[in-house]
Structure 1
Amino acid sequence: MTGRRPSRSAHPGGLRRRFRATRTGLLSAGALVACASLAAGCGVVPGTTGGSGDDPITVMTWAPQDTGATNKPGMPALAQAYARWINDRGGLDGRRLNVLTCNDHNDSVAAAKCARRAVKENAVAVVGSYSQHADSFFPVLEGAGIPYIGGYGITNTEFTSPLSYPVNGGQPALLAGLGSTLARTCGPVALVRPDTIAGDQLPVLLDSGLTSGGHERAQDQRAAEDATEYGGQSQRALERTTTDPEDPGCVVPVLGDRTGTFMDSFRRARAEHPEVRTATVLGSVDQTTINASGGPSGPYEGAYVTGWYPSVSDPAWSGMKKVIKEEAFGDNDIDAADAGVQTTWIAYTVLAEIVGSLGDGEVSADTVRRALDGGLKIGTGGLTPSLQWTFADKLAAVGFPRLVNAEVTLQVVREGRLVSAREGAVDTTRVLQNADVN
């Protein structure tokens, strides 16, 4: 177990940001606005790409919205709120920040369109985004040399592409950490996961944690990502975890937004087997989900949940909460406890640190990438360990050369509340080093 640096209230948007004198011309633009694009579902804060001196800086944040599967509207919404906030205070190191947003619709074609729009608009980076379709958007970004900073961590490509700079350990760390915990507390384990390319990567990651603790591998159970009920899957999961009355098992649904739908079905199927526990990862469940499912009388009671960051009550989140309160109060898309929102906040903190490191020089995709590849070490106010990306990190040998933050936090649902189950963070590096991901 490793503890993070003591939390402290960092200046929102970056610990070391230097604000130069406000320039009248720079701030003459109006408030942040959004526009719709029928082709790519994109919005834009008007302006041009970042260059030298006082030129504005253009970035993009994308995520799926209004789909039948996982949706992350809070990520682009927070990015726009951050832009409004920072521009009212002189911009990033004196430069105005323009944020493009795009809806990838959980669709490979739309994800590629988002990436092509980022290229067309000369974005210096894609920041704090979510997409399952790495095979569609990464080739576009890589061809243009645009860095991908702080992706959600939903695909393995985010931990292999030389242009990816993840701020968390993604699904690999969450599932490895969860498996390590369940190895000590559960009988048979059943994993219920999407029948998708991204879902295919999940069993081996959970198994890495289980087997490291001497536990047998999980039963891998595929399910439709956009189903409206999971009665059959719930029954099969229970059959697999109740084979030994003396050693009740655990059911692990990792279905994104559809995890709640699964748990509705599971609650009914579980009536005769209350001893079976559940466990999942943050992003598939949060406090809002627990409340809606019945709180202390709901199916999540006693469940273990792994996350990447400190709980939302930690003082280290005060900067993000300040921005939400001042620029997005009443926006129901933005939930401070949502892992996507939190990841976007950290990603923009990283961007601010990069821009500050460039001083009066040009801010472009090339200079941003060179700063990151040159060994720039970035602090996030205690939300993560210090971040620094290299091409020969500890997890390169097992296929995750870009994974630099393997820490996870362990939480548990107790009396209907998601609370810390263990002080500090757990480093899953050693568990992942033994994972058979190839």
Structure 2
Amino acid sequence: MTGRRRFSFPRPFRTATALALCTAVAGASLAGCGVLPGGSTGVREPVTVMTFAPEGTRATNMPGMPAMAQAYAKYVNAKGGVDGHELRVLTCNEHNTTSGAAACARRAVAEGAVAVVGSYSQNGRAFMAPLEGAGIPYIGGYGVSEEEFTSYLSYPVNGGQAALLAGNGRQLADSCRRVSLVRPDTIAGDNLPVLLNTGLSQGDGRPSTDVKAAEDATEYLEEAARARDEAGDEKGCVTAVLGERTANFFDSFRRLPEEDGEGVRISSVLSSVGQPLIDRTGGAGGPFEGAYMTGWYPDAGDSRWGVMRQVIKDHAFGDDRIDPADAGVQTTWIAYTVLKKVIEALDRATITPGAVSHALDTGVSVDTGGLTPALRWRFEDMLGVPGFPRIVNPHVTFQVVRNGRLVAARPGFVDVARTMSQVPIV
């Protein structure tokens, strides 16, 4: 016996009953009867968490994230749970609204969630306040709200939009003489030009032209024409970061007269464009062929995603909401990898929000199988730059569309910590 016994979600029973049963067995040790150090029984309570994301809205939708969370729960529960704990996943539609985000957070509190994991919301202030009030950690958000990188209870797994834009600037700096950035006309969008320009300043690129656009428009012909005109015809680039509406923008861009701007190259980041969109728009014959892309993780065809792909195949049962090439699905997978490591490190019968955040604060290190560098959230591990102090993973990947597939433009990760540290305070 190892002294550590795992159960497949038994019903709780009283300690006295358990001890009586043990003493009735000749020579039985306490460890053999499922009694853990400290005298508690081996019954491990279920762990409840929540994943929320917008679904069915006119703007950005991320249905694959809660679907991936549910598939992950089926995967670990089929193997006896996480360190003997049944994983219960609550999902919630935050509707891309402040009231929706706040409602999801309040539900997490009311239903005893020990963490919110692998979620998406632009409404950081609305959801972080209820979570902070209840001491519930936020693990592995998508990285689109300021609070994800400032709240003491947020544990990001990537560098968010900030790292992508700084990285995109780095990627374009030596290839594009002039760059137009098409971005949402929102408060969150106002930060994007300065991030891109800081990356551009690392090479020969000049500051970008800022082209503001409605976040939920159905076409962008006027913005596309301006972006292409400002980029010029030779060594010019247009990069668009409009979330789900990026596809609408590039459709408008494609419909501009062909005789103008033939030399302009397009670009984006993998929170706005991914393999599913490239496939839907014609693959190698579509508008994204040759496009530069900046992402957080290895390209979707990388073998390091093999376990995730197998889990989707075995436990999602054809759920078409889950695409393994989607950055949201990938982020949720990594966030649940973090949760699993933390629960295993705690090795206790009852998991609480405070125990989870304390473990993260004091140095639990998470190996994600090469999908990110090793993750750890001690104070000394954080980037600490103004506006994004809690970033612990300032790494991005440079990718390009070749023959209709997103592939690595260069091997490995690119560390944009230095670039981000030079972003001026606005």
Question: What TM-score does the superposition give when structure 1 sets the normalisation length?
Answer: 0.87
Quick one: structure 1 residues 269 and 52, their matched pair in 2 at CA, closer, same or farther if it must change by over 3 Å? Answer: farther
C-alpha distance 269-131 of structure 1, shift in aligned 2 (>3 A):
same
Contact 1:19 1:92 in 2 (8 A): no
Name structure 1 gaps, 5 residues minimum.
Answer: 1-17, 28-50
Query: Is the counterpart of residue 22 in structure 1 residue 13 in structure 2?
Result: no
- Aligned to 2:100, the other structure's residue is in SS state helix
Matched, 1:436 2:421: no
Is 2:255 the counterpart of 1:268?
yes
Question: What is the CA distance between 1:390 and its match in structure 2?
Answer: 2.4
Alpha-carbon contact 1:52-1:362 (below 8 Å) kept = no
Alignment partner of 1:366 out of 337, 348, 354 = 354
Would you say the 8 A contact 1:127–1:150 is kept in 2?
yes
Number of the residue aligned with 1:330: 318
CA deviation digits over 1:291-341, x for unaligned, max 9? 222222322121100111112222221211111011113111000010000
Change over 3 Å in CA distance of 1:251–1:20 after alignment to 2 = farther
RMSD, matched Cα: 1.9
Q: Which amino acid aligns with 2:305?
A: W
| Maintained 8 Å contact 2:124/2:145 | yes
> 2:385, 2:420 within 8 Å by CA — same for their partners in 1?
no
Q: Does 1:421 align with 2:409?
A: yes
Aligned-partner SS, 2:294? strand
Structure 2: how far apart are the matches of 1:418 and 1:426? 17
CA contact (8 A) 1:206 1:218 kept: yes
Distance in 2 between residues matched to 1:191 and 1:429, nearest whole Å: 22
Q: Are residues 1:277 and 2:277 paired?
A: no
What are the superposed Cα offsets for residues 150-207 of structure 1, whole Å, 9 maximum, x if unpaired?
0001122211111110011111111111101211001211111111222122111111
Other-structure match for 1:149? 139
| 1:308-327 paired onto structure 2 within 5 Å | 308-327=296-315
1:87-121 per-position Cα deviation (integer Å, ceiling 9, x unaligned):
12111100111101000111111101001111111
C-alpha distance in structure 2 between counterparts of 1:142 and 1:321, whole Å: 34
Contact 2:65 2:118 in 1 (8 A): yes
Q: Which moved more, 1:290-299 or 1:51-60?
A: 51-60
The 2-side partners of 1:143 and 1:369 are apart by 14
- Secondary structure (helix, strand or coil) at the match of 2:335 reads helix
1:183 maps onto 2:173 in alignment? yes
Do structure 1's residue 380 and structure 2's residue 365 form an aligned pair? no
The letter of the residue matching 2:414 is V
Larger radius of gyration: 2
Pick the aligned partner of 2:237 from 250, 261, 264: 250
Q: CA deviation at 1:283?
A: 2.1
Q: Who is 1:304 aligned against?
A: 292
Alpha-carbon offset, residue 248 of structure 1: 3.3
Could you tell me which amino acid in structure 1 is paired with residue 368 of structure 2? T
Report the number of matched residues: 395
Displacement of 1:211 after TM fit?
A: 1.4
| Aligned partner (choices 396, 399, 402) of residue 411 of structure 1 | 399
Percent of counterpart pairs with the same letter?
56
Partner residue of 1:99 out of 89, 104, 108:
89
Please state how far the C-alpha of 1:86 moved relative to its aligned partner: 1.2
Letter in 2 for 1:260: A
Q: Which residue of 2 aligns with 1:348?
A: 336
Report the AA paired with residue 237 of structure 2. C
Once residues 360 and 330 of structure 1 are traced to their aligned partners in structure 2, the CA distance between those partners, rounded to angstroms, is 35
Q: What is the match of residue 195 of structure 1?
A: 185
Match of 1:227 in 2: 217
> Could you tell me which residue of structure 1 aligns to residue 20 of structure 2?
none
The range that moved more, 193-202 or 164-173, is: 193-202
1:143 & 1:66 partners in 2: Cα distance? 29
| C-alpha deviation, 1:22, in angstroms | 3.0
Q: Which has the higher contact order (CA 8 A, sep 6+)?
A: 1
